[in-house]
Chains A and B, each alone.
Chain A
Amino acid sequence: MKRILADVTAFGRQYLRSRVGTFFALAFPVILILLFGAIFSSSGTPRVSLAVQDMDRTDASRGFVQALNNTTLISYQAIPPTASFQEYMRANAINVALQIPTGFQATIVRAEMGNASARVNVTLAGDPTQSSFGIAYSAVAAVANAFNLKIANATGVVSVGETPFTVQQFGYIDFFLPGIIGFTILTTPMFGMTSICAEYRTRRFFKLLATTKLSKAEWLAAKVVFYVLLLFLSVAIMMLVGIGVFGMKARLTPVAVLLIIAGAFEFTSLGMVLGIFVRDPGTGEALANAIGFPMMFLAGSFFPIDSMPSFLQTIARALPLTYINEGLRATMVLANDGTAVTYLLVTLGFAVVFFVVGARGLSWKSK
């Protein structure tokens, strides 16, 4: 135990004296919280800028635009009716634009007079892969539907009411925080350990350590202890920023604390497993990136897994980070400790396997 504490102390001193390490462990997650928090937390729903070319310039077309504005999803800007629609979009770098054709009001009037074949199309142009396009499409479709109901003299029968799914009224930042904690649990120990293994091998520190009484398992345990402490410091700072700046309501639960410890154990060990294959800092970085980057996106740190195609969801279920992200969300946001404990056990299982493989596979001795 004394050897482990000695290694934690010496390693910690070196780590915290390195500005790069400190930045990535402590400052980078805070920057992410501030960045994403500022983007998504300022209002409950995002607002999309929509350019509209009203070719009809009638009461009906102006009413359509006014209805769009009233959705609060749309920030309206006009395209001159004389401009070429597509050219104007290109010249002004407009992402989403709506064109209301000439004859819009006349068609509505014909429909109201009982002409069953009256039809008019409004055109929405833009990049369908952008989320802003989807938001604009939903808003335009909703307004068009309302117009159709009005023309048909009908009223909506089915409506949607809101009831909070969570125990408290959480904001976006509360849902985002577990993902950022998961992201930090992945990157700080795993990228750190891979680069440490590369450095220790090229600078012969492993050989030097092999001449002492410190075992590989003790060395790895020391790194786990250090990264647990570092991650708690990092999470504490993130939570202070989240609470202080964005009024975040999510709090660390006992299960979340255990998940952070298990996650640090898991990804420190995985870093050492990767270290088995690393010969120099260049390959270490490449290997950590190759494993880490797909995992952080596929495991639901930033995007919900349910929104992914089914084959990606299958892959996500095989990734260790998924269980940390989902477990943290379950306990911190949804107050579902039962699910979180299940994910905690899965995480511990991964951790033990990685620890054993890392401690046995990494060789300090020469061939």
Chain B
Amino acid sequence: MRPCDVAPPRVVAVDEHVIEVRGLVKRYPDITAVDGIDFDVSRGQVFSLLGPNGAGKTTTVEILEGLRDPTAGEARVLGQDVRSGYRRIRERVGVLPQDFEPFDRLRPREAVTYWARLFDHDVSEEAVASIIETVGLSNRADTFALNLSGGEKRRLGIAMALVGQPDLLFLDEPTTGLDPGARRELWTLIGDLKRKGRTILLTTHYLDEAEQLADDVAIMNHGKIVAHGSPSALISQFGGGTTIVLAGAGRGGSEALMARGIAAELHGADLFVHVPMAGQVRPMLAKLASIEIPLSEIYTKRSTLEDVFLKLVGARMEEGVLAA
């Protein structure tokens, strides 16, 4: 048993893989939810599993949490095999499950104390207050969870996941269903945890969330990882460089560019000109300026994970659902 607020430091190699996954498969009679995936998560990293609903993200996370048994493959968390060592794993991880709901008639202060005791941690009032302060719920610490907002409930979930100073945090779609303001606030909180050196496995279907928070992203679709790397590496590999947008140029502009041998895509009334290499942006801008095209505005747009996703999966994603 150890006090929550004076957890002993753990000696871990800087490059230690906190999670190692090799050939992981989870098969059901009617579907293969996880289809032979491999990835590693290093200590201190925010690793994001990104993909639409049904891609296999939550199944993967629940296997790593010891809540589901894999069909095949290997998965190790904090050096422990998920099949045989899940009791030891759960002592060292914090979990915010998908669609987390708190116990309605417990106050955040009581819920955090309760949760700490379920991990055999003796928590002082100060330690509980400190955890609640970390997630920004100090002024709501004595409000029944029933009366918290959606964002506050997720913060409470993160507070419960933080009891006992876990070596690894699993945050399964922490911002799904929240309004934009609450999502931003949670991003700030997760960013703070990242700066404090927490290792976090984050699943999300929000591309901007992964781009904003993750050091490493694995894009999942149909149970497979279709791309894996840092957001910037993925963008430079698959994002297609920079896009020059000729707002309002329309079909007339498109024909004028085609006459000069410049490829462009028409999106509504706007023309998109893709420039793969950063060094080609200035010359292309100069070239476009020399062509008489009626337009309302011209600007450049750096590729995002959205472009990467579109290219790799072949569809855009809206609220976790692939758009045709």
Contacts and interface: CB of A to CB of B under 8 A. Distances in A.
B103 A3 contact: no
Contacts of B99: 204
Interface stretch (B34-42, B87-95, B229-237, B246-254): B87-95
B105 A13 contact: yes
Given A3-B120, A213-B120, A214-B118, A10 B103 contact: yes
B117 A366 contact: no
B167 interface: no
A310 interface: no
Interface residues of B, number: 31
A17 B106 CA distance: 9
Nearest to A214: B118
Contacts of B119: 212-213
Interface string A1-44: 01101110110011001100000000000000000000000000
A109 B196 CA distance: 111
B97 A9 contact: no
B81 interface: no
Contacts of A159: none
B114 to A, nearest CB: 4
A207 B106 contact: no
Interface string A114-137: 000000000000000000000000
A209 B95 CA distance: 10
Given A14-B103, A207-B67, A366 B90 contact: no
B114 A10 contact: yes
B208 interface: no
B110 interface: yes
B65 A10 contact: no
A90 interface: no
Nearest to A14: B105
A212 B115 contact: yes
Q: Which of A2, A14, A208 has the most CB of B within 10 A?
A: A208
Interface in A167-214: 203-205, 207-214
Nearest to B62: A366
A204 B144 CA distance: 19
A202 to B, nearest CB: 10
Nearest to B89: A211
Contacts of A9: 114
Contacts of B111: 10
Contact of A212 (B90, B100, B104, B113): B90
Contact of B95 (A2, A13, A208): A208
B120 A211 contact: no
A6 B28 CA distance: 37
Contacts of B62: 207, 366
Nearest to B99: A204
Nearest to A208: B97
Contact of B68 (A3, A7, A366): A366
A2 B66 CA distance: 23
B114 A204 contact: no
Contacts of B120: 2-3, 213
A3 B117 contact: yes
Contacts of B110: 10, 13
Contacts of A3: 117-118, 120
A214 B91 CA distance: 11
B95 A211 contact: yes
Contact of B67 (A10, A205, A210): A210
A210 B62 CA distance: 11
Contacts of A203: 101
A365 B90 contact: no
Interface in A201-255: 203-205, 207-214
A115 B104 CA distance: 85
A208 B105 CA distance: 16
Interface string B100-142: 1101111000110111011110000000000000000000000
B304 to A, nearest CB: 32
A366 B106 contact: no
A214 B121 CA distance: 12
B106 A211 contact: no
A50 B101 CA distance: 61
Interface of A: 2-3, 5-7, 9-10, 13-14, 17-18, 203-205, 207-214, 364-367
9 contacts: A3-B118, A10-B111, A14-B103, A204-B97, A204-B99, A207-B62, A211-B95, A212-B118, A367-B28
